[in-house]
Structure 1
Amino acid sequence: MIDLRLLREDPDRVRASQRARGEDVALVDALLSADERRRSSGVRFDELRAQQKQLGKQVAQAKGDEKTELLKKTKELSDAVKAANAEQDAAAEEAQQLLLRIGNLVHPDVPVGGEDDFAVVETVGAPRDFAAEGFEPRDHLELGSLLGAIDTERAAKVSGSRFYYLTGVGALLELALVNAAIAQATAAGFTPMLTPALVKPRAMEGTGFLGQAAEDVYYLDKDDRYLVGTSEVTLAAYHMDEILDGAKLPLRYAGFSPCFRREAGSHGKDTKGIIRVHQFDKVEMFSFVDPADASAEHERLLGWEKQWLTSLGLPFQVIDVATGDLGLSASRKFDCEAWIPTQGKYRELTSASNCNEFQARRLSVRMREAEGGKVRPLATLNGTLCAVPRTIVAILENHQQADGSVRVPEVLRPYLGGREVLEPLAR
């Protein structure tokens, strides 16, 4: 959540951020009003409590009619104290709920607009010219069938649409990707983590996934638990309600987990294949840092993502995501989009977000400064290293050969028994 002091001191900045996100600007004024009522009722409560204590002393010393009159005043004052306390609690609850609905302040350099208003930061590598090589590229589903790697038909029979089986070399390719991604992250100083897939409401709300993204979240009503759409949730909440030693920052974790998304707003999009699915596995990077180092850490996360995609031999572009597509928690987000030959366009493979202090405030994750011992919120950042199914799509389509075989990126070969090519099954 945003800092309430900043809201009081510079509400126009918060209004401008909400406007840039395409979100309700009126929330800012509603929050200011609730916060003022909370503070004024708090002052009133304190004044009445002081009067109550003073009156108690007078009652103890009074006698006769004077005491009777003072006791009457005591009852009236007690009712007023209860009313002020109730008003304070109600205003505080209203302010808290409004505060949870306001998005992080967007970075001033983020392009303003919706999903298609991103800015291209960099293009790495060039798409292959399949025409010059003398053949028409097959899509990942056809390649997956030839290789015996992907089965969506039986998955639909068992689970419904937007599910898939990875079979044979497809399953091996996932395991290779996960192992190679974890190896890169570990070499970069990340602690590998296997994280839960079910979380309590506070963890989901604390990371910002119960606001505008709530429709994409699976909820188990009987257990009051949520299925995570990313291990960002479990990694962010790992140090919930803790004070971390600032001298030991940054803390970096690489989480591997299954991810679940309802894809509620994607009707008609990517209905075939495994680009947009309800369940998938992912390796996610997560950093806890001093807020002063957040921007530099954001660039580092992006650098590790670029290193990963380059090692896979994939042509890609880096985009600065527009304000309306940031999500509630991110102040700024860079996506890496790989070229998908049969679609003739770039598609998102990785994402790196700087959330500054936003999630830490919601989850009460703080740091103790090395000098002076001051306790304050820290900053959190997250970055996808490998979303498995989309990465498989990009590898199959970009590294395919005319006979339906697929060249294996060198970085994955040690995890595939040295195999250099995935061969079609004999028919």
Structure 2
Amino acid sequence: MIDLRLLREDPDRVRASQRARGEDVALVDSLLSADERRRSSGVRFDELRAEQRSLGKLIPKASADEKAELLKKASQLAADVKVADAERDAADTETRELLLQLGNLVHPDVPVGGEEDFVTLETHGDIRDFGAEGFEPKDHLELGQLLGAIDVERGAKVSGSRFYFLTGIGALLELALVNAAIAQATAAGFTPMLTPALVRPQSMAGTGFLGQAAQDVYHLEKDDLYLVGTSEVALAAYHMDEIIDADRLPLRYAGFSPCFRREAGSHGKDTKGIFRVHQFDKVEMFTYVTPEDSQAEHQRLLEWEKQWLTSLELPFRVIDVATGDLGSSAARKFDCEAWIPTQAKYRELTSTSDCTEYQSRRLSIRVREGKQVRPLATLNGTLCAVPRTIVAILENHQQADGSVRVPAVLRPYLGGREVLEPVAK
């Protein structure tokens, strides 16, 4: 959530942010009104309680005639205090509920618009000309079947559409990717973490995933637990309700977990193969820093993502995501999109978001600097979303005979294999 003081001092900035996101601007005025009622009812309650305490001191000293009148007044004051307390609680609840609906303040440099209004910041690597090499590229599903690596038919039989099995070399390729990604993160100073896949509502809400993203979340009603769509949720809530000493920052974690997404808004999109699925594994970077360092940390996370994709020898571009596609928690987001040959376009492989103080305020995570205690900043960055990375590797490193060249960074984790060979039918 944002700072209420900022809302009072500069409501036009908050309105502009909501407008850029394509969200409800009237929410700002509703929140200002609720906040005013919260503060005025709080003042009214404090005044009545002070009067009640003063009256309580007079009663023991009063004469019999005065005492009856004072007791009558005390009874009325008690009723008034009860009403004022209820009004204060109601206004406080309304203010918090409205505040939780408000998206993070958009960074001023973010391009305004929807999904297609991003700005390309840079491109890396060379796109292969398969025609010049004399063959038509196969898509990842055909390659995966040739290699004995992907089985979507049995995935659908067992679990339904958008589920799959990674088999044989496919399973080994996932393990290689995860180990290589964790090795890179550990070398960069991240603490490896294996995180829970089920979290409580306060963890999910605190990271901002029960707002506009709620339709994409799996909820276990009987247990009131949520399946995470990213280990960001567990890593953000790891320090919930804690105060962290400034000399411990930055805190950097690399979480590995299964991820679950309903893909509620993706009907008809990417229905073939494993690019968009309901369950997948991912290595996620998550950092806690001071608010002043969040923009620099955002660039560092982006550099680690670029280092990873470069090590996989993939052609990719970096985009500055537009305001309407940020998600409620992010003030700014960069995506790294890899080239997918059979789609002839770039597709998102990694993403990094600067959430500033938005999540830490919701989760009550603060930093202590001397005698001062204040919210800190949180950031996240995907290092390796496994299925999409497998898609990019298979399609970009395929050879005419259906084999796939293994990037050098993965070979130590695949027993030294340089090439993945098709299996006998």
TM-score, normalization by structure 1:
0.99
Residue equivalent to 2:161: 161
Deviation at 1:56, TM superposition (A): 1.1
Aligned partner of residue 193 in structure 1, secondary structure? strand
The corresponding residue for 2:366 is 366
Q: What is the rounded CA distance, in whole Å, between the counterparts of 2:352 and 2:126 in structure 1?
A: 22
Q: How many residues align?
A: 425
Alignment of 1:74-223 (within 5 A): 74-223=74-223
Matched, 1:413 2:400: no
Bigger shift: 245-254 or 63-72? 63-72
Residue 374 of structure 2 aligns with which residue? 376
Task: State yes or no: 1:48 paired with 2:48.
Answer: yes
Query: Which one-letter code corresponds to 2:289 in the other structure?
Result: V
> What are the superposed Cα offsets for residues 375-416 of structure 1, whole Å, 9 maximum, x if unpaired?
111100000000000000000000000000000000000000
Runs of 4+ aligned residues of structure 1 deviating over 4 Å after TM superposition are none
What is the identity, as a one-letter code, of the residue corresponding to 1:335? Answer: D
Q: Which runs of 5+ in 2 are unaligned?
A: none
Structure 2 counterpart of 1:344, one-letter code? A
Q: 1:387 — aligned with what? A: 385
Q: CA deviation at 1:247?
A: 1.1
1:362 counterpart letter in structure 2 = R
Give the match for residue 9 of structure 2. Answer: 9
1:65, distance to aligned residue in structure 2 (A): 2.7
Pairing 1:259–2:259 present: yes
Which residue in 1 is equivalent to 2:398?
Answer: 400
In the alignment, residue 251 of structure 2 is paired with which amino acid? L
For structure 1, which segment, 51-60 or 335-344, has the greater mean C-alpha deviation from structure 2 after superposition? Answer: 51-60
1:244 counterpart SS class:
strand
**Which deviations, in whole Å up to 9, do the C-alpha atoms of 1:231-284 show, x marking residues without a partner?**
000000111111111012101000000000000000010111101100000000
Letter in 1 for 2:368: R
- C-alpha displacement of 1:420: 0.3
SS at match of 2:136: coil
How does the TM-score come out when normalised to structure 2? 0.99
Tell me the residue number matched to 2:282. Answer: 282
Distance, in Å, in 2 between the alignment partners of 1:416 and 1:284 is 22
- 1:139 corresponds to which letter in structure 2? D
Q: Tell me, in whole angstroms, the C-alpha distance in 1 between the residues paired with 2:295 and 2:273.
A: 36
2-side partners of 1:39 and 1:118: how far apart?
Answer: 41
SS in 2 for 1:335: strand
* One-letter identity of the residue aligned with 1:148: G
Q: Give the structure 2 partner of residue 354 of structure 1.
A: 354
Counterpart CA distance in 1 for 2:203 and 2:333 is: 21
- SS of equivalent to 1:342: coil
CA distances 1:137-164 after superposition (whole Å, capped 9, x unpaired): 0000000000000000001000000000
Aligned residue for 2:238, secondary structure, equals: helix
Q: Deviations over 1:190-228 (max 9, x none)?
A: 000000000000000000000000000000001010000
TM-superposed deviation, 1:64: 2.4
Match of 1:394, SS state, is: helix
Residue identity opposite 1:85 in structure 2: D
| SS of alignment partner, residue 347 of structure 1 | strand
1:315, 1:196 → 2: CA distance? 33
Q: 1:57-116: per-residue Cα shift (whole Å, max 9, x none)? A: 121112323211111111111110000000000000000000000000000000000001
One-letter identity of the residue aligned with 2:173 = L
SS of match in other structure, 1:271 = coil
Q: Equivalent residue for 1:291?
A: 291
Alignment of 1:300-379 (within 5 A): 300-369=300-369, 372-379=370-377
Instruction: State the alpha-carbon separation in 2 of the partners of residues 272 and 46 from structure 1.
Output: 63
Q: Which amino acid aligns with 1:281?
A: D
Query: After the TM superposition, which of the residue ranges 93-102 and 239-248 deviates more from structure 2?
Result: 239-248
Shift of 1:33: 0.5
Deviation track 1:348-394 (CA, whole Å, cap 9, x = no partner) reads 0000100011101111111111xx33111110000000000000000
Alpha-carbon separation, structure 2, partners of 1:195 and 1:258? 9
Structure 2 counterpart of 1:408, which letter?
Answer: V
Give 1:5's aligned amino acid. Answer: R
Task: Output the amino acid matched with 1:115.
Answer: E
Equivalent AA in structure 1 for residue 403 of structure 2: S
Structure 1 position 312, deviation (Å): 0.3
Between 374-383 and 62-71, the greater mean CA deviation after superposition: 62-71
* Amino acid paired to 1:404: G
For 1:249 and 1:70, how far apart are their aligned partners in 2? 57
- Partners in 1 of 2:138 and 2:191 — Cα distance? 38
Letter in 2 for 1:286: F
- The whole-number CA distance in structure 2 between the counterparts of 1:276 and 1:337 is 14
Bigger Cα displacement from structure 2, 182-191 vs 49-58: 49-58
1:276 match: secondary structure: coil
The amino acid of 1:373's aligned partner reads K
One-letter code aligned to 2:62: A
Distance 2:69 2:286 in 1: 64
RMSD: 0.6
Deviation track 1:307-333 (CA, whole Å, cap 9, x = no partner) reads 000000000000000000000000000
Distance across 2 between alignment mates of 1:373 and 1:416: 52
Describe the superposition over 1:290-343 as per-residue Cα deviations: whole angstroms up to 9, x where unpaired: 111111100000000000000000000000000000000000000000000000
Q: 1-side partners of 2:63 and 2:277: how far apart?
A: 78
Q: CA deviation at 1:21?
A: 0.2
SS for the counterpart of 1:126 is: coil
